[in-house]
């Protein structure tokens, strides 16, 4: 966790924002609830302090995933929708796609919504796929197609 001090002769020095964003994003992709609970508040605190919308939305999405992993479906959806609003406002289409994908995963994980679960998940994954295809994010698009295909 120690970062190099100044001066930096080549390249740029990592700041706490980038460090925590990387830790949070990696924990989210690995579905590591413990790491999400550890690093997400640190990223959120820095993002709020510095009014950094992108990193705050990344923290909100990570919190949504952590809540889903803990079984808090409503809290997960609320956080994911907050993140989605920011990503859409920023025009961050890859982040938009990733967040729609997490919303699809959240719907599928929820125990209490059998009736419209598949249709809602399909809709969310479809939104994710459209965002990924618009920017030619092929690995993300393939993963999303696989999730859509698994729905039948």
Task: Note the pLDDT of residue 14.
Answer: 56
- Domains detected in the chain: 16-151 (1.25.40.10)
Task: Note the pLDDT of residue 117.
Answer: 87
At residue 25 the predicted structure's pLDDT band, cuts being 50, 70 and 90, is: very high
Q: Which residues contact 60 (CB under 8 A, 6 or more apart)?
A: 44, 79, 80, 82, 83, 86
**Residue 9: pLDDT above 90?**
no
Task: Note the pLDDT of residue 112.
Answer: 64
pLDDT in tens, 86-110: 999 999 999 999 999 999 999 999 8
What proportion of the chain, given as a percentage, has pLDDT over 70? 88
């Amino acid at each position: 966790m120690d970062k190099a001090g100044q001066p930096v002769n080549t390249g740029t020095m990592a700041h706490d924002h980038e460090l925590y964003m990387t830790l949070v994003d990696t924990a989210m992709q690995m579905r590591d609830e413990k790491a999400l609970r550890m690093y997400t508040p640190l990223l959120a605190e820095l993002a709020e302090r510095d009014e950094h919308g992108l990193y705050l939305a990344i923290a909100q999405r990570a919190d949504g995933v952590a809540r889903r992993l803990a079984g808090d479906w409503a809290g997960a959806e609320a956080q994911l929708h907050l993140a989605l609003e920011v990503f859409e406002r920023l025009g961050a289409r890859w982040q938009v796609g990733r967040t729609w994908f997490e919303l699809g995963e959240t719907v599928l994980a929820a125990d209490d919504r059998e009736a419209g679960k598949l249709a809602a998940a399909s809709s969310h994954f479809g939104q994710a796929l459209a965002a990924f295809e618009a920017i030619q994010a092929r690995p993300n698009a393939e993963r999303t197609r696989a999730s859509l295909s698994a729905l039948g």
